[in-house]
């Protein structure tokens, strides 16, 4: 069953959308990843002050060092839905050694341990049981998607990349987020307080709010998702073999 194995190793990028607001006006879901490191208080404060709901994906390793921010999120259950970003921020990928330079889980056992480790850390640190899982790179092997769903969790993609891993400058982040359309799931980061991007997240969401766009959390709304295939470059080994056989 070589083809079935190859199929399981196929890389996909889940594209998640929420139901459109329709006559009631546009609605979007703001999802923020807390991968590791610290908390961006600019974003957290703005969400609390402006009463903007968000879905926060937290890792075990972020949770260990951000008890204060976690307490703020827990103190506002009407605003913050907490979901699972894994124990150690590992891509749920088999069949490839790295994704964006991050070492992948590599095996079903390692994927299970990463997902379950995140679940356990959320329970012990916050008393929360997650329903959604988003891995480190928002890319998955097809086999991993099946495995995570079998564990009882929904895989959380996105439709609008707000900050490219908090790497963009504030002005372009603001522009991207302010341009969100009805039904979009926005992805940005809440763990990079020293990056310019976070200031753009705040301005972008305030622009949406000023336009009358409503913010909903993933648990409060109907969602739909497609698994978009990602075409990865061929492994180096194959390229070398091709060069050798052509005699160059």
- Minimum Å gap between C-beta 99 and Zn ion is 12
- Residue 27 or 36: which CB sits closer to Zn ion? 36
Under the criterion CB under 5 A, does residue 92 sit at the interface with Zn ion? no
For Zn ion, the binding residues in 1-60 under the rule CB under 5 A are 33, 35
Q: Which ranges of the chain does DSSP label H, i.e. alpha helix? A: 2-8, 41-49, 60-63, 67-75, 108-126, 142-150, 170-178, 197-210, 236-245
- Minimum Å gap between C-beta 57 and Zn ion is 7
The Cα–Cα gap between 143 and 148 comes to 9
Query: Site mask, Zn ion, residues 152-191, x = CB under 5 A?
Result: ----------------------------------------
- Minimum Å gap between C-beta 242 and Zn ion is 35
Under the criterion CB under 5 A, does residue 114 sit at the interface with Zn ion? no
- Minimum Å gap between C-beta 35 and Zn ion is 3
- Residue 70 or 213: which CB sits closer to Zn ion? 70
Contact 146, 10 (CB under 8 A): no
Distances (CA, A) of 63 to 21, 42, 76, 110, 190: 33, 18, 17, 20, 13
Give the number of residues in contact with Zn ion, rule: CB under 5 A. Answer: 2
Nearest 5°: the CA angle 19, 27, 227 is 45
Residue with the CB atom nearest Zn ion in the bound state: 35
The helix, strand and coil proportions of the chain, stated in percent and rounded to the nearest 5, come to: 40, 20, 40
- Minimum Å gap between C-beta 24 and Zn ion is 32
Q: Which chain residues interact with Zn ion by CB under 5 A? A: 33, 35
């Amino acid at each position: 069953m070589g083809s079935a194995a190859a199929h399981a190793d196929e890389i996909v990028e889940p594209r998640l959308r929420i139901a459109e607001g329709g006559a009631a006006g546009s609605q979007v879901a703001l999802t923020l990843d807390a991968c590791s490191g610290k908390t961006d208080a600019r974003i957290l404060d703005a969400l609390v002050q402006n009463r903007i709901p968000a879905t926060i994906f937290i890792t075990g390793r972020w949770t260990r060092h951000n008890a204060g921010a976690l307490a703020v999120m827990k103190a506002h259950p009407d605003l913050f839905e907490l979901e699972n970003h894994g124990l150690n921020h590992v891509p749920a990928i088999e069949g490839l050694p790295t994704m964006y330079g991050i070492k992948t889980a590599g095996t079903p056992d390692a994927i299970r341990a990463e997902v379950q480790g995140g679940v356990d850390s959320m329970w012990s640190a916050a008393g929360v049981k997650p329903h959604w899982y988003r891995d480190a790179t928002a890319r998955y092997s097809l086999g991993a998607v099946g495995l995570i769903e079998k564990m009882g969790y929904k895989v959380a993609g996105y439709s609008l990349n707000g900050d490219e891993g908090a790497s963009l400058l504030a002005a372009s982040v603001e522009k991207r987020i302010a341009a969100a359309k009805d039904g979009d799931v926005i992805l940005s980061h809440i763990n990079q307080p020293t990056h310019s991007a976070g200031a753009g997240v705040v301005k972008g969401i305030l622009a949406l709010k000023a336009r009358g766009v409503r913010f909903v959390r993933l648990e409060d709304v109907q969602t739909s998702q497609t698994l978009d295939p990602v075409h990865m470059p061929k492994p180096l080994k194959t390229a070398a073999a091709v060069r050798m056989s052509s005699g160059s």
